[in-house]
Amino acid sequence: MAIPVTGYAHVRLTVSDIARSRAFYDQVFGFDIAFEMPEGADEATREQLAFLYGGVIYQVPGGLFGLRPVAPGDDRFDEDRAGLDHLSFAVPARADLDAAAERLDGLGVAHEPVKDIGAGHLLEFRDPDNIALELFAPAE
Q: Please determine, for residue 4, whether its predicted confidence score (pLDDT) is greater than 90.
A: no
Q: Please determine, for residue 7, whether its predicted confidence score (pLDDT) is greater than 90.
A: no
pLDDT in tens, 36-92: 999 999 999 999 999 999 999 999 998 999 999 988 888 888 888 888 899 999 999
Give the pLDDT score at 40: 94
Please tell me if the domain spanning 1-75 has the same topology as the one spanning 78-140: yes
Give the pLDDT score at 17: 94
Average pLDDT, the chain: 94
Instruction: For residue 16, give the nearest of 65, 66, 75, 56 by alpha carbon.
Output: 75
Give the pLDDT score at 25: 97
Cα–chain-centroid distance for residue 45?
25
Cβ proximity of 87 and 11 under 8 Å: yes
Share of the chain above pLDDT 70, in %: 100
- Largest Cα–Cα distance of the chain, in whole Å? 53
CATH code at 78-140: 3.10.180.10
When pLDDT is cut at 50, 70 and 90, the band that residue 122 belongs to is very high
**Right CATH number for 1-75 from 3.10.180.10, 3.30.70.20, 3.90.550.10, 3.40.50.410?**
3.10.180.10
Q: Which runs of E-coded beta strand occur in the chain?
A: 10-14, 32-36, 56-60, 63-68, 87-90, 115-116, 120-126, 132-138
Give the pLDDT score at 100: 97
Cα–chain-centroid distance for residue 34?
14
Q: Where are the domains of the chain?
A: 1-75, 78-140
